[in-house]
Amino acid sequence: MENVILVIHLILAVCLIGVVLLQRSEGGGLGMGGGGGGGVMSGRQAATALGKLTWAFAIAFLATSITLTVIAAQNSANSSLLDDLGGLPPANGGEADDSALPPVDSLLPPIDGDSPALPPVE
């Protein structure tokens, strides 16, 4: 289900980009843009088909974004990254398994003759 919504989300993103790029520039941004010769800019302009399509794609895009967020939150509600690493105490208060952890000496870089020796790990 999550993959289907993700594919729809990506298709909506591409469609939204395409519809926005197809619209005619109204100017105003940095003094550039071709607003055209005649006509007074009014506060209320007629909604074009591209404008309505842009709103529809934007609303659908936001809906799929929220849906994907809710699904991701539900999938991760009962798990933790620290639980998945292993060797750490489980969230339910059980005993930790020390055998899963590598020895500390294997995590340190090798000591060559030029570098100072590291203090022993306790």
Q: How many domains does the chain have?
A: 1
pLDDT at residue number 117: 61
Residue 67 CB partners (closer than 8 Å, separation 6+): 5
Q: What is the DSSP letter of 15?
A: H
Domain residue limits at 59: 1-23+49-75
Structure-token match 């843009």, residue found? 33
In a domain, 87, yes or no: no
Q: Which of 25, 10, 117 is nearest to 68 (CA)?
A: 10
Q: What is the pLDDT of residues 46-64, one digit of tens each?
A: 468 888 999 999 999 999 9
Q: Phi, psi (5° rounding) for residue 90?
A: -65, 160
pLDDT at residue number 68: 95
In a domain, 5, yes or no: yes
Q: What is the pLDDT of residues 59-97, one digit of tens each?
A: 999 999 999 999 998 888 777 666 666 655 555 555 555
Tokens of 24: 């005619």
The rounded Cα 68 to chain-centroid distance in angstroms is: 10
In a domain, 56, yes or no: yes
The pTM of this model reads 0.53
In a domain, 54, yes or no: yes
